[in-house]
Amino acid sequence: MAGAAAPAPAGAGAEPVLELSGVKKRFGGVVALNGVSFSLRPSEVHALVGENGAGKSTLIKILCGIIQRDAGEITLDGGTYDPHTPGDAKKAGIQVVHQEFNLLPYLSVAENICFEDMPRKAFGMVDYPTLYAKARKALDAIGLGDVDVRRPVESLGVAHRQLVEIARALMGESRILILDEPTATLTARETERLFQIIAALKAKGVAVVFVSHHLNEVFSICDRVTVLRNGESVMTADIAATTTDQLVTNMVGRQLAAAMAAARDLDTSGRTALSLRNLRHPASPHAEGVSFDLHYGEILGIAGLVGSGRTELLRSIFAADLPLSGTIERDGQPRHYRNPKQAIRDGIGFVTEDRKEEGLILGMAIAANVTLASLRKVSRLGLLDKREETRLTRALGGEIKLKYGDTADAVSTLSGGNQQKVVLAKWLANNPKILLLDEPTRGVDVGAKAEIYALLRGLSEKGLALLIVSSELPELITLSDRILVMSKHRIAGEVVRADFSEERILNFAYKDERNHGHH
Amino acid sequence: MDTTDLTTAQAGSKTIATTTKTVLREAGIGIALIALIIVFSFTPHFLSSSNVTNILTQVTINLVLSIGMTFVILIGGIDLSVGSVLSFCAVVAGTVMTLPGLDPAVAVFLATISAIVAGIGFGLLNGLISAWWAIPSFIVTLGTLNIARGAALQVTNASTIYSFPAAFNAFGSQTFYGIPLLFLIALVLVAIGWFVLTKTVFGRVLYGIGNNEEAARLAGHNVFFYKVAAFTICGVLVGIGAIIYMARLNIASPIIGIGFELNAIAAVIIGGTSLSGGRGSIVGTLLGACIIGVLANGLILLGLSDFMRQMITGFVIILAVILDKYRERLTKA
């Protein structure tokens, strides 16, 4: 296997097995892909990188037949490739390991692995001995010798589930394997194992599309890289001929790079708006919880890995989940919010991570969404004043540069960035003093992203206290005055602006994991 | 940026389309009703004033129950207990109305109050249980369906109550220019329901919760209160429905109202309200109840058997939902 990883520019010069040109896809008013060109050679590992919302997931869904493209050419081995169902893609030899789990939790590991092609006996009965043997072989091949194939999938941890998913994808004789964020839930050791598997596949002539946010992984195992931005492919290069800086600049675009450069000098001298002492979310294993102070006029960033308790922290402040223990002080006064309503009355707003599930009422009008948290302002004696509602919506819409047709349009007709602005407007309508923001630019295009950054800076200059959770470190580094790094539901460290660097933050974020690794 | 400008331009042209589509929704149901009326008007007696009175009388009770059902379905619930609860409300009111020694006017007044109170009681029960323990209202109201029916049988010892005050009976058969007074009362309730759902904060939040409960909760709304309120409103309308039933048929019995919940749900669904909540209107429900009434009456005039009528009504319910799927697709595209 060691020898397999070595061969240089894999498949260089060979005819591409898969080729895309000018692929476009639109969902209602939202352009998801606006001309993607991409080619995949046999025996190469090709990285697909780009920010959230750049179009990676859409592209993968088109390749595996979940959705169909609106325009553009896709050829597979020189012939037109136009899958209408995931079955078509599998028949053509394209396998995908999706970011979200597609496992059947109550069935056994073996049944999951062989689900697409169950070994049978007479009368359609399942041939269990063969089933278990096949699954055993598949798990051993990816180094999961210690997992019992009879166990139900729900009893496995996330990392193991991800590996089972990969084992399932490898069951089919695929020529093209697409891995969508395969390492997101893996530890370092498992990631290493996965890379060996990829190298072995490559040696067998399989072409791999590798989607990842982690550029260091891209540089360690990929042969070529394609960058997507705003639904377009903006660059393709040999890994050897590019640099991290080049990739990042292409990912975020010049406009955002400029917005980031405009980082300001800060001021954390404001009065304390919110003070947490030992606040513990029910999901937190640690009694000491989280403690920190948030000041007026300050932007406090919260970094950390997925699952480190960042969202839970915001939810327990807002009483979306009631904290187990600990205290909250607002302007120096103790508070015990029993529900979001009380937190809102006390001047707090919460821009949630998932705007479709928690932030917006998609089927309802823009105006109805904007006033959802401030209906008292646009009503008298319980009667809605729709004229006032429209006025307020237009005024806020202008302030935040919302692009819309009519305030009565359903919010679902807006693009991701504009939807996110509606969520912001909903809270701004209430004149909050403190704004909690969870992934404020997820799924937002680059233009809107820069506008949201400017908006958030403006709010903090007006004296609002902002607490921002983000998985994008450049975003936190750009916006924050201070960054707290969370790990396993605790504050693992604090970094002040003068010391901001991705390495420092990541060191804190991985602190616990590394300690565990040494046991 | 070119892309954003493009999106804005599209959003602009979409506005008109969106509004037209919203109007078309209800207009579509209205057109179906008119088409049905035109078809049936070829039968000899359909448009005679006595038949129109007849249709409106038959529509009335279902319409009143459907208004309450609309509130419950809009918030994402369902109330299977309305038929049984109507029966329970009626026997309670009937018992009060026939109490010996009461002045007729006082008896009717007290009976009306008691029917509504009984309806509120069951509405609260449905709402509190399903909201507090987060139990699907389908199951809770399946339970109260049996409880109310059993209670009605228990209270009356399975006997029918009749001989209400003469004035009460006369009130039930009163008409204005051929329109039954009871139907006019139902129309007033429709108007109130429409007002509450479209003009008040309460109605707005109700739609919001039906669409996305978590988003409404995180925007500071008391989801528990609204759920209980929707079931309680449904209970009030069931109580009123019980009095209307008694005024029309002059009896109160523990075996009335069987299957009424299904007719009410059918009217709401035919009227374009989504069973998953958050989408629909009282005007649609009014039209839906009228379609069911007109269909039943017209099919009788065509000389079809009861059995055939039931089958056709069933097909219409399914057809309405299929058509709604297409409308949904139109709105999304």
Q: Which residue of A has its CA nearest to B14?
A: A405
Residues A234 and A108 in one domain: no
The verdict on residue A88 lying in a domain is yes
Q: What is the enclosing helix (H) or strand (E) of B100?
A: none
Question: Both A155 and A22 in a single domain?
Answer: no
| B216/A contact by beta carbon, under 8 A | yes
A344 plus A411 within the same structural domain? yes
pLDDT score, position A254: 66
In a domain, A219, yes or no: yes
Query: Taking the CB of residue A258, how many other CB atoms lie within 10 A of it?
Result: 11
Which range of residues forms the domain containing residue A338?
260-518
Question: What H or E segment, with its residue span, contains residue B296?
Answer: helix B282-301
Give how far Cα A504 sits from Cα of A162, A304, A389, A473, Å.
28, 12, 46, 11
Kindly tell me the burial class for residue A463, based on how many C-beta atoms sit within 10 Å of its own C-beta (0-12, 13-18, 19 or more). Answer: middle
Same domain (yes/no): A307, A392: yes
Domain final position from A140, A172, A204: A172
Strand order in the sheet with A272-280: A290-295, A272-280, A325-330, A333-335
Angle at B293 between CA B43 and CA B78, to 5 degrees: 155
pLDDT at site B11: 42
Please judge whether B201 and A320 are an interchain contact, meaning their C-beta atoms are less than 8 angstroms apart: no
- Which residues of chain A lie closer than 8 angstroms to B222, CB-CB? 339, 341
Q: With an 8 Å Cβ cutoff, are B14 and A426 in contact?
A: no
Please determine, for the modelled complex, whether the ipTM score is greater than 0.90. no
Closest-CA residue of B relative to A344 is B220
The two three-digit tokens of residue B166, written as one number: 């003469």
- Cβ–Cβ of B11/A359 closer than 8 Å? no
Looking at beta carbons, which residues of chain B come within 8 Å of A415?
4, 7
Among residues A172, A192, A210, the one where a domain terminates is: A172
Nearest CB to B201; choose among A28, A373, A375:
A375
3-state secondary structure of A198: helix
Q: Are A500 and A511 in contact (CB under 8 A)?
A: no
Does the pTM surpass 0.80? The reply is: no
Shortest distance, CA B33 to any CA of chain A (angstroms): 27
Distance from A409 to chain B by nearest Cα, in Å? Answer: 6
Is the distance from CB of B95 to CB of B161 less than 8 angstroms? yes
- A346 occurs within a structural domain: yes
| B215·A410 Cβ contact <8 A | no
Give per-10-residue mean pLDDT for chain A (519 aa): 42 77 82 89 91 81 90 91 89 83 85 85 88 90 84 83 84 85 75 86 90 83 91 91 83 66 59 94 90 94 87 95 94 94 96 90 93 94 94 94 89 87 95 95 79 92 94 87 91 88 80 51
- B11 to chain A: which residues are within 8 Å by CB? 29, 403-406, 409, 413-414
B12 at interface of A, judged by CB pairs closer than 8 A: yes
Which residue on chain A is closest to B200 by alpha carbon? Answer: A383
Whether A417 and A388 map to the same domain: the answer is yes
CB contact under 8 A, B11 and A344: no
DSSP B178: T
pLDDT-flagged residues of chain B (< 50): 1-19, 333
Size of interface A-B (CB pairs under 8 A): 122
**Are A409 and B216 inside 8 Å of each other by CB?**
no
Of the candidates A172, A199, A229, which is a domain's last residue? A172
Residue A11 lies in a domain: no
Residue A329 and residue A460 in one domain: yes
CATH architecture of B35-332: Orthogonal Bundle (1.10)
Chain B residue with the nearest C-alpha to that of A412: B332
Q: What is the pLDDT of residue A338?
A: 95
pLDDT value, residue B333: 45
- Interface contact A409-B4, CB threshold 8 A: no
Q: B21 at the A interface (CB within 8 A)?
A: no
B170 touches chain A (CB under 8 A): no
Give the C-alpha separation, B209 to B226, whole Å: 8
Q: Could you tell me if B15 lies within 8 Å of chain A, comparing CB atoms?
A: yes
Q: Are residues A234 and A380 in the same domain?
A: no
Q: Are residues A23 and A155 in the same domain?
A: no
Judging contacts by C-beta atoms under 8 Å, the chain B residues touching residue A30 are: 7
CA distance A508 to A503: 9
Q: What is the DSSP string of A69-126?
A: -SEEEEEETTEE---SSHHHHHHTTEEEE-SS----TTSBHHHHHTGGG--B-GGG-B
Identify whether residues A237 and A321 lie together within a single domain.
Answer: no
In angstroms, the CA B135 to CA A150 distance is 34
Mutate to test the interface with B, among A364, A407, A424 (most CBs of B within 10 A): A364
Among the partner-chain residues A341, A361, A408, the one whose CB lies closest to the CB of B222 is A341
**Residue A445's pLDDT is what?**
73
CA distances from A121 to A111, A128, A133 (A): 15, 9, 15
For residues B72, B74, B78 and B81, what is the CA-based torsion angle, rounded to 10 degrees?
30
What are the structure tokens assigned to A193, written together? 């194992």
CATH number at residue A241: 3.40.50.300
Question: How far is Cα A500 from Cα A107, in angstroms, rounded to an integer?
Answer: 46
Measured in angstroms, the CA of B139 and the nearest CA of chain A are apart by 25
As a whole number of angstroms, the distance between CA B122 and CA B141 comes to: 9
Comparing CB atoms, the residue among B7, B208, B279 nearest residue A403 is B7
Task: Kindly compute the dihedral angle of the four CA atoms of residues A503, A506, A512, A516, in this order, to the nearest 10 degrees.
Answer: -70
Among B7, B13, B214, which would you mutate to test the A interface (most chain A Cβ atoms within 10 Å of its Cβ)? B7
Q: Rounded to a whole number, what is the distance in Å from the CA of A375 to chain B's nearest CA?
A: 7
Q: How many domains are there within chain A?
A: 3
Query: Which of B11, B13, B333 has its CB closest to that of A414?
Result: B11
Nearest CA in chain A to B207: A364
Instruction: Give alpha helix (H) positions in B75-219.
Output: 82-97, 104-132, 137-156, 166-173, 181-199, 201-211, 213-218
Question: What is the per-residue pLDDT across B217-248, written as a single tens digit (0 to 9) for each?
Answer: 999 999 999 999 999 999 999 999 999 999 99
CA-only gyration radius of chain A, Å:
25
Query: Which 3 state secondary structure label does DSSP give B33?
Result: helix
State whether A405 and B222 contact (CB < 8 Å). no
Domain residue spans in chain B? 35-332
Interface mutation vs chain A, best among B6, B218, B225, B274, most A CBs within 10 Å: B218
Nearest C-alpha of chain A: how many angstroms from B142? Answer: 29
Residues of B in contact with A382 (CB under 8 A): 200-202
Q: For A52, list phi and psi in degrees, rounded to 5.
A: -55, 135
Chain A residues with CB under 8 Å of B207 CB are 361, 364, 368
Whether A313 is covered by a domain: the verdict is yes
- A339–B214 C-beta distance less than 8 A: no
- CA B214 to chain A, closest CA, distance in angstroms equals 5
A72's tokens: 């553009």
Give a yes or no: residue A448 inside a domain: yes
Measured between alpha carbons, how far is A476 from A461 in angstroms, rounded to an integer? 17
Nearest CA-CA distance, residue A371 and chain B, Å: 9
Inter-chain CB proximity B7 and A34 less than 8 Å: no
A311 chain-B contacts, CB cut-off 8 A: none
Q: Which helix (H) or strand (E) holds A468?
A: strand A465-469
Residues A315 and A440 in one domain: yes
What is the Cα Rg of chain B in Å? 21
Q: Are residues A348 and A391 in the same domain?
A: yes
